[in-house]
Structure 1
Amino acid sequence: MDDLERELRELSAWLRTPDPPDVTARVRARLAAPAPRRRRWRLFLAAALTAVVVAVLPPGRAALADAAAGLLRFAGIAIVTTPAPVSPTGTPSPLPSQRPAAVSEAQRKVRFPIRVPAKLGPPEQVFVADPDATGAHRVATLLYRGGALRIDAFDGRLDLAFHKGTSATGVSWVQVDGEFGVWVEAPHEVAYVDRAGAVRVETARLAASTLIWQMGGVSYRIEGDLTRPEAIEIARSLR
Structure 2
Amino acid sequence: MKTRSRLAFWGVATLTPLAMLTGASAWAQTAKPGDPAAAQKKVAMCIGCHGIPGYQASFPEVHKVPMISGQNAKYIAAALLAYQKGDRKHPTMKGIAASLSEQDIADLAAYYEASGKNLPATPAKGGAATPEVTALLNKGACASCHGDGLNQPRDASYPKLAGQHADYLYVALKSYQTDKNAKIGRSNAIMAGQVKQFTLAELKLLANHIGGLGGDLKTVPQAKFK
Q: Structure 2-normalised TM-score? A: 0.28
Higher-Rg structure is 1
Greater RCO (Cα-Cα under 8 Å, separation 6 or more): 2
Q: Structure 1-normalised TM-score? A: 0.27
Larger helix proportion, structure 1 or 2? 2
Larger strand proportion, structure 1 or 2? 1
